Amino acid sequence: MRQHAFERANEATWGRIRTLLDALEAKRRPGADVPVQQLPRLLRTVSGHYALARSRGYSPGLIRELHQLVRRGYRQLYRVRPAWPRQLLDFAVAGFPRALRRHAGLFWLASALFFGPMLAMGLACANDDALIYSLLSADQVSQYESMYDPTNARLGRAADRQDTDDLMMFGFYVRNNVGIAFRVFAWGLVLGAGSLFVLATNGLFTGGVAGHLTQLGYGTPFWSFVSGHSALELTAIAIAGAAGLLLAKALLAPGRRSRLAALRANAAEALPLIAGAMGMLVLAAVVEAFWSSNAAIAPQVKYLAGAAGWMLVAAYLGLAGRGGGDAA
């Protein structure tokens, strides 16, 4: 093969590895079109091109260029990676909020599908004391009423859990909340309909309970309980919804890729979203178990802490990791 034909046939591959190496050397996140997972395959291919160029006696300039790409590739492939605590910190400080901002449109869509039904049902149940029974059975309504009765010594806990210690409740909250978020995410594979259904129904149930308890006169114990952890918990569920919608997008609008290839790419993009959401839910469970249920803390203090929590979550997701390759 003549050198010109050789270059024309392989220049796209060289361009991809060059783009990837430029991003890695600048410590930026590579673009979605050339993910870092492609480095070993691209490097093997370009190493073969380098060997062919030498054996066929192509121009010194081309051989030198390919040699440079191979050397750069091996440096990146075998460079010392930071220890996992550093990687975890980098992800929490910058990687997760950047990933969410790349998919801000899906996040706002998931938020509308979650908070919209929540607000509508909350207002409806606050004005109609019988409407809650269209969502929940009488036994379930009675249980929620007992959990937020102003005389309850441990807010947010059913009668059969009053003696359960905070650590066990922490485990219960983690299992419950992470389960909801995972369902929202996984059901995205049903062309997005599953994620939409889980988001909307959880919004309806949450809003319905809030509206019913408020009109019943239990607003202070309920709102003081949820204020502390709501920013973390509710936002994380919306983020899990965005991750689920990413899966649905691959199936509904794969573009020029096959649906399987699009699903693989979008699943890789969704992974940091669901991982970050799970982390937020664990933190929410800590607050819920050890702070929210403490009836000795004045409601005003809990409200202030809750408002600060919403501002901190908004600032973190909107500002953390900006610069340094933020593609928001």
Assess whether pLDDT exceeds 90 at residue 232: yes
Report if residue 90 sits inside a domain.
Answer: yes
Q: Are 140 and 63 contained in the same domain?
A: no
Tokens of 328: 């928001």
Report if residue 327 sits inside a domain.
Answer: no
Q: Quote the number of domains for the chain.
A: 2
State the pLDDT at residue 327.
46
Mean pLDDT confidence for 285-298? 89
Angle of helix 259-287 relative to helix 230-252, nearest 10 degrees, comes to: 170
Window from 98-107, 171-180, 277-286 with minimum mean pLDDT? 171-180
Chosen domain end from 31, 51, 79? 79
Mean pLDDT confidence for 175-204? 91
Q: Are 74 and 90 contained in the same domain?
A: no
Give the range of the structural domain holding residue 31, as residue numbers without chain letter.
3-79
Assess whether pLDDT exceeds 50 at residue 33: yes
Output 153 or 111, whichever has higher pLDDT: 111
Q: Are 106 and 158 contained in the same domain?
A: yes
State the DSSP code for 131.
Answer: G
State the pLDDT at residue 34.
67
Mean pLDDT confidence for 157-180? 81
Report if residue 243 sits inside a domain.
Answer: yes
Quote the distance between the C-alpha of residue 287 and its chain's center: 19
User: 3-class DSSP state for residue 294?
Assistant: strand
Mean pLDDT confidence for 125-130? 94
Chosen domain end from 64, 79, 94? 79
State the pLDDT at residue 328.
41
pTM over 0.95: no
Cα distance between residue 162 and residue 274, in whole Å: 32
CB 110 within 8 A of CB 239: yes
Cα distance between residue 75 and residue 77, in whole Å: 6
Assess whether pLDDT exceeds 50 at residue 117: yes
Report if residue 324 sits inside a domain.
Answer: no
Angle of helix 193-216 relative to helix 138-147, nearest 10 degrees, comes to: 60
Q: Are 56 and 157 contained in the same domain?
A: no
Report if residue 98 sits inside a domain.
Answer: yes
By percentage, how much of the chain surpasses pLDDT 70?
Answer: 93
Query: Which amino acid makes up residue 293?
Result: S
Q: How high does pLDDT run on average in the chain?
A: 89
State the pLDDT at residue 116.
97
Cα distance between residue 66 and residue 43, in whole Å: 10
Assess whether pLDDT exceeds 70 at residue 252: yes
Q: Are 165 and 297 contained in the same domain?
A: yes
Mean pLDDT confidence for 84-98? 87
Q: In whole angstroms, how far apart are CA 280 and each of 44, 81, 271, 284?
A: 39, 26, 14, 6
Mean pLDDT confidence for 20-31? 78
Assess whether pLDDT exceeds 60 at residue 186: yes
Q: Are 175 and 271 contained in the same domain?
A: yes
State the pLDDT at residue 76.
87
Whose tokens are 């936002």? That residue is: 235
Report if residue 325 sits inside a domain.
Answer: no
State the pLDDT at residue 80.
57
Assess whether pLDDT exceeds 90 at residue 102: yes
Chosen domain end from 79, 112, 132? 79
State the pLDDT at residue 86.
79
Mean pLDDT confidence for 145-159? 80
Q: Are 22 and 105 contained in the same domain?
A: no
Please report the sign of the dihedral spanned by the C-alpha atoms of residue 278, residue 280, residue 286, residue 287.
negative
Report if residue 209 sits inside a domain.
Answer: yes
